[in-house]
Amino acid sequence: MLLEKHFKVGGWTHTFRRNNYEWDVGIHYIGEVHKPWSPIRRLFDRISDGELKWHKMDDNYDRIIFPDKHYNFICPKTRFIKELSDYFPDEKQAIQDYIQLIDQSVKTGVSYFGNKALPNLISNLSYPFMTRKFMSFAGRTTYDVISGLTKNEKLTGVLTGQWGDHGLPPRQSSFAMHAMVARHYLDGGNYPIGSARRIAETITDVIEKQGGKVAVNAGVDEICVKNGSAESVILENGDKLSAPIIISGSGILNTYGRFLRNHPHSKKFKERLKKVQQTESFICLFIGLNKSAQDLGIKNTNLWIYPGYDHDKNVSNYQSDQEAEFPVVYVSFPSAKDPVYQEKYPNNATMEAITLAHWSWWDKWGNGAWKKRGDEYEAEKENLSQRILNKVFKHVPKAKDALDYYELSTPLTVKSLANYPLGEMYGINHTPKRFKQRWLKPKTEIKGLYITGQDMFTVGVSSALLSGLATVSSILKKNMFKTL
């Protein structure tokens, strides 16, 4: 049985509609799935019974934009290298070395993540040997590694221009996390045909076909442990459901910090959580246009708009002053990515524009209900919406005359709909310290209780998917990766 707190299944893969528009809420592009032999594609095919289809984006999948110049990320990898070398002809060797490093980093992750699925005794004995190479990358910041290859700060700013895909600027993020994201997209991006909701739709069909049950509006309040074993969950409505195996995909903050609050070791669990940090939250402006993407000449290339090349400085300036320039505005075009969007919604287009936010900036409205938080809250949303629109129109000018609808989500929206306590974007931060936490693994010390999701591996739906395979491997004591 799958228990979903929200009124829709899918978490960050669900979509929503307003008027005659539909937007995704978290899936903006996924790498590698256009290759039928890739592990991620094979796993998606397995759990969707082959019903989930993908559309490959244009070769120019990302555009990194600074005040003085923009830089296109173009697949495949050979083209990516050539384009960057054309932008920075004096840095060709550094670019080649960078590509080699991200390849090496990702390859060393196989044994690191595989160790998480092993039985505790074997995992503990083999941990030093299975993780040492990976930690040589994961234990350093992105900036530290790249600055060892080049002193060109503009090149560093460009190479780290996708930092929003994992949530931390280069002086804070683990290089291993940066490498996984960058390499994931080197052969381009893809989007689900029929929009992101097709992920959950096809997977739940398979669950139910196999005799499983899917329940919505079924938030868990507590995991009950008896004689050292997880035996049941109590739902928010008071219902109690018993099962021999309980798997939490709700994030470690919810699992250890809230669901196990009455466990004898709850203080120990909460101390453990102090060793990791929650990611920052975000605001997202959902934009509806009354002309099609084709009519407006809109492509499906993602835009990353920055005020300067020093991402850490941009973030720091904004964190200290909300009126400062946005440290990033990421613009996505879901209707242009989905080849069947126009069949459902002819003659319109959708956009999304995302930037960082602090929970503390919104906490004072936290006691209000969704959609009922008052005039001051709505005024603040409108102010930010206009600021974001001005930034978007500068880079997508034809959108201005076609603007028909817009709606802003805030960290409070994220907490209401995704159940992240502080409206987190990606669960826990991908710092070097995070990858040293050996307790971030599927099997807990409580018999019958397992963890899955992006907090176990790394950010994103692909990683969460692979974490599920690791969790199943841990439960069955069998290497399920070999079954792909």
- The structural domains of the chain, with segments of one domain joined by +, span 219-275+437-483, 278-425
Q: Can you tell me the distance from the alpha carbon of 54 to that of 44, in angstroms, rounded to the nearest whole number? A: 10
The CA-based diameter of the chain, rounded to the nearest angstrom, is: 65
Residue 417 pLDDT more than 80?
A: no
453: which residues sit within 8 A by CB, 6+ positions away? Answer: 248, 249, 250, 251, 427, 464, 467
Q: Write down the pLDDT at residue 366.
A: 83
Residue type, 15: T
Indicate the pLDDT class of residue 368, thresholds 50, 70 and 90: confident
Q: Is 50 left (phi over 0), alpha (psi -120 to 50) or beta?
A: left
Q: What is the dihedral of CA 25, 30, 34, 37, to 10 degrees?
A: -120
Distance CA 455, CA 426 (A): 8
Rounded to whole angstroms, the Cα distance separating 338 from 243 reads 39
In 259-374, alpha helices (H):
266-273, 293-296, 311-320, 334-337, 341-344
Rounded to an integer, the average pLDDT of 309-326 is 96
Instruction: Identify the burial level of 466 via C-beta atoms within 10 angstroms of its C-beta, where 0-12 means exposed, 13-18 middle and 19 or more buried.
Output: buried
| Angle, in degrees to the nearest 10, between helices 39-48 and 197-209 | 60
Three-state DSSP class for 358? coil
Give 104-161 pLDDT, tens digit per residue.
Answer: 999 999 999 999 999 989 999 999 999 999 999 999 999 999 999 999 999 999 999 9
The sign of the dihedral angle between the CA atoms of 470, 191, 180, 319 is: negative
pLDDT single digits (tens) 324-367: 999 999 999 999 999 999 999 999 999 999 999 988 999 889 88
Residues of the chain by 3-state class (helix, strand, coil), percent to 5: 45, 20, 35
The pTM (predicted TM-score) of the whole model is 0.95
Pairing of strands 449-451, 246-248: parallel
Residue 414 has pLDDT above 90, yes or no: no
CATH number belonging to domain 219-275+437-483: 3.50.50.60
| Structural tokens at position 353 | 């524009």
